[in-house]
Structure 1
């Protein structure tokens, strides 16, 4: 990413409002052009940030009504990236050609394991302070730990469009707007503090999922132009970083007065401006309507199952099977230990968090976004006054939440899925005939790599009534040789059921009783002979066998 600074000829009274046409046209070594908007950064300083997409000499020329900003030219030399971070090796995220998952720009599939930090740009998540000796900074400590655990995405919102009590847009740089003049008197120091956060994340190779603010902050189209101007500013400032645009949290929360169509207009506007045409989305309220699948700007669907809730896999399958297809992500489901007011009056049990993660992926999502009480909204201590931090025994601080068990189990889950070509699997209703299995929220389900079924993955939720059930896998190769294993999603350990077995002449195999019914289990069946097998997968699995 390159940053180029320019100086305006005029000292504007309201620069954020007065100059809205500053941009630069970048021309690649092969003659392709990309337009990047610029942004005001205080005084008479404007900047352009740009990430070249090809090696070689690029040229640029600016455009603006201001004489000092207009018709500025130059060139930049782009050399090949030599580091190890995948986002820079492979490029910005986009939908796959079949609209089932996300890929990097070069087509390499991207596995999404996200961590929720709605207040991550806010003072609630301290950038320069820590009350835990393990970390010099609350913000940096959280990122470092999640990076170690294999998380690939960090999600937050700026709240800069939000003027409601309790969620002030404020960080170490001050308030987002001066004198309470929302959408007028922009405070560049607020954004410069966010710059530091974004840069730290980018240096770690994390994809940054950014929402502008909360959906209910735009109740009608009368302020849509204000939100579009802010969206343009955010894109100009952070579009050259490894970001995806989440538009708004609960963009369609009609109960709270959110104008869903207005936010859709903002999302389409950002996509039109974005020179990289990356995959963007809108964070759903818990109603999760099937909408905008036919819009090119709607790169992927972000769902909200909500909290202290269980659903059958049919909840995700309905979204997966919608036409036209769109990549599906469960983006807010059963935050670990979330406080009672958000969970129906009780703290959400941990098994529900894990179940949502596994069920959603079995039903076709391309990853999962996790959340933890004390981190989804930053809580420095258990005595923080924010409503989102809870009270008494329900409160959790960030440095306790970072060690939550299900957060660690997300690492096991990510390592499991990324140990094979997960993107080749699809939900498969007919692969297993389940015997005496529940048909409700605890319904087992499976995905496979198609009719030849060289790989079958099934998730068996814990049984609330203690029932143990079995099933029969169908349409395996009668000449295939297979290995079957249980995977424990709570500790990441595999245990072999049988190795070197051959299905019946009809291509079936009876699933044995799961190790116990009081926990959830993952069943993996892999063919180990033939042209479609993966020897590397077998080796990887055996290294983790107990």
Structure 2
């Protein structure tokens, strides 16, 4: 009897050891995240000394991904499958206990809210991997993941009811006006600490050793965003350190190690976008030429080809380079009037995101006190031009929580109006382009049966029914006319019908040269839909 008891005890011990050494899910949905967990050495510096990768295969499909050390002797490999069926994997490592591990899992049909990662479509626009259109209506909360837990949860609650489907956010903590607090987690292992004359504790770091808790927290928040249908535009580097932590001055070798570690951890998250830097030209510790090295390193380490950009301060980078999928621009003047936003789009021939056009708020700085009307109009000017605009809010809330910096609550007037525009866009038959950018910077079209005309600040008593002749509708087409108040968020169907006649020069007019009466108000738009 005792031999039988001993046998089962040894069996359960053995199974427990196996469970501790390797774990993976048997099923993962398409564009979900498969994770293989292995037990390995803790001695030395596992972040540098141990190399781990895996090859995933399904028939002729083969994908190689990097693994990473997650602390306490735990190693992980993550993979985002892009096709249904049985996938097999095999690990490769310079450490015997991690090398040659094999297994398989089933990739199943994705859930209804899983459309896959966002990709470039039709040169200037975006789609999810399953073909669903994606229109980026973004916001900004640079350091929201470096705040007390209650504030982070409040930010998520705010985003749940906000109209935004993308957020710009930093990996590293930020030290800047209105965001000077110490984060809960740091990305690197602490070596030592000293007290400064002001009483603040200053740390020194071992940049060769990462802090897994920091990255686990970041991953949790990215997953929280994914549940809300929000893309995480992850800013890899930024200049807002000023010697506080030194994370902007790691040196080239440490920068590349950080890139490799970050991409190994995050590439399998389907809602991740890469932003090489915010205001790259303000990071004085990194010469301009190094950004080519860093952007190539990110692209090479990401087998899924997530969207990638680099954001400027005063000087644009070489956005036409193949490492960049789209253009992320800081330029408020590009969306403060008609015809400006389209110009850079025609330079780079890529999707154009005006990711910083100043912010709605009450800060004294010139970039921090747009009115709600100005921010809303910036979105309309960018949208009409076939480009995209990102929101930010800099009103001071109780407790000095400015959404642009720390997250929290939104109190501005533009988010509701931005949500109204998003619904208009998502109900359109496709993405917008200027119908005739040389002659008409007010009229956008999705096709010859759908037009959106934005009047902006101009207050007119009437508007003559006409459209650009370029690729316009044929004679005899009839259009329903709707008057849109972009500020009051109303759509009124007018009784008139626009019936086209043969083009007269550059314009197509109503066959009876009709006009419609307009209220003497700014920020009106007109939508024409073929009957």
TM-score (norm 1): 0.77
Max radius of gyration: which structure? 2
Verify the 8 A CA contact 2:138 2:167 in the aligned structure 1: yes
Verify the 8 A CA contact 2:172 2:247 in the aligned structure 1: no
1:267 aligns with 2:283: no
Report what 2:11 is aligned to.
none
- Equivalent residue for 2:488, pick from 487, 491, 516: 491
Cα distance, 1:527 vs. partner? 1.7
In 2, Cα distance between the equivalents of 1:185 and 1:64? 19
1:178 aligns with 2:190: yes
1:312 aligns with 2:337: yes
In 2, Cα distance between the equivalents of 1:428 and 1:65? 60
Report what 1:349 is aligned to.
371
List per-residue Cα deviations over 1:404-424 (Å, max 9, x = no partner). 221111110100011012326
After superposition, the Cα gap between the structure-2 partners of 1:489 and 1:55, relative to the gap in structure 1 and judged at 3 Å, is same
Cα distance, 1:258 vs. partner? 5.3
1:25 aligns with 2:55: yes
In 1, Cα distance between the equivalents of 2:383 and 2:74? 46
In 1, Cα distance between the equivalents of 2:239 and 2:307? 20
After superposition, the Cα gap between the structure-2 partners of 1:268 and 1:421, relative to the gap in structure 1 and judged at 3 Å, is farther
After superposition, the Cα gap between the structure-2 partners of 1:353 and 1:165, relative to the gap in structure 1 and judged at 3 Å, is closer
Cα distance, 1:177 vs. partner? 4.0
**SS of residue in 2 equivalent to 1:235:** helix
- Equivalent residue for 2:154, pick from 127, 138, 149: 138
For residues 5-404 of structure 1, the aligned pairs below 5 Å read 5-12=37-44, 14-19=45-50, 21-28=51-58, 30-81=59-110, 83-85=111-113, 88=114, 90-96=115-121, 98-123=122-147, 126=148, 128-130=149-151, 137-146=153-162, 149=163, 151-159=164-172, 171-174=183-186, 176-179=188-191, 180-181=204-205, 183-215=207-239, 223-241=251-269, 242-253=271-282, 259-288=287-316, 291-293=318-320, 295-306=321-332, 311-322=336-347, 325-337=349-361, 339-343=363-367, 347-365=369-387, 367-373=388-394, 381-383=398-400, 401-404=409-412
After superposition, the Cα gap between the structure-2 partners of 1:177 and 1:359, relative to the gap in structure 1 and judged at 3 Å, is farther
In 2, Cα distance between the equivalents of 1:511 and 1:268? 55
Cα distance, 1:298 vs. partner? 0.8
List per-residue Cα deviations over 1:361-412 (Å, max 9, x = no partner). 11121x33211125xxxx773446x9987xxxxxxx955x424221111110
In 2, Cα distance between the equivalents of 1:468 and 1:258? 55
**SS of residue in 2 equivalent to 1:121:** helix
After superposition, the Cα gap between the structure-2 partners of 1:468 and 1:262, relative to the gap in structure 1 and judged at 3 Å, is farther
Cα distance, 1:167 vs. partner? 6.4
**Greater strand percent: which structure?**
2
Cα distance, 1:75 vs. partner? 1.2
* Farther off after superposition, 211-220 or 63-72: 211-220
- Equivalent residue for 1:503, pick from 500, 503, 513: 500
In 2, Cα distance between the equivalents of 1:388 and 1:284? 17
**SS of residue in 2 equivalent to 1:68:** helix
**SS of residue in 1 equivalent to 2:37:** strand
Cα distance, 1:233 vs. partner? 1.4
Q: Aligned-pair RMSD on alpha carbons?
A: 3.2
Verify the 8 A CA contact 1:335 1:372 in the aligned structure 2: yes
Report what 1:447 is aligned to.
444
Cα distance, 1:332 vs. partner? 1.3
Cα distance, 1:513 vs. partner? 5.4
In 1, Cα distance between the equivalents of 2:259 and 2:366? 29
TM-score (norm 2): 0.79
Report what 1:440 is aligned to.
none
After superposition, the Cα gap between the structure-2 partners of 1:282 and 1:4, relative to the gap in structure 1 and judged at 3 Å, is same
**SS of residue in 2 equivalent to 1:225:** helix
Cα distance, 1:359 vs. partner? 0.5
Verify the 8 A CA contact 2:481 2:529 in the aligned structure 1: yes
In 2, Cα distance between the equivalents of 1:71 and 1:313? 60
In 2, Cα distance between the equivalents of 1:381 and 1:182? 37
Cα distance, 1:202 vs. partner? 2.1
Cα distance, 1:50 vs. partner? 1.5
Report what 1:438 is aligned to.
none
Report what 2:30 is aligned to.
none
**SS of residue in 1 equivalent to 2:306:** coil
Report what 2:20 is aligned to.
none
Structure 2: runs of 5+ lacking an equivalent: 1-32, 192-203
In 2, Cα distance between the equivalents of 1:461 and 1:164? 35
Cα distance, 1:216 vs. partner? 7.2
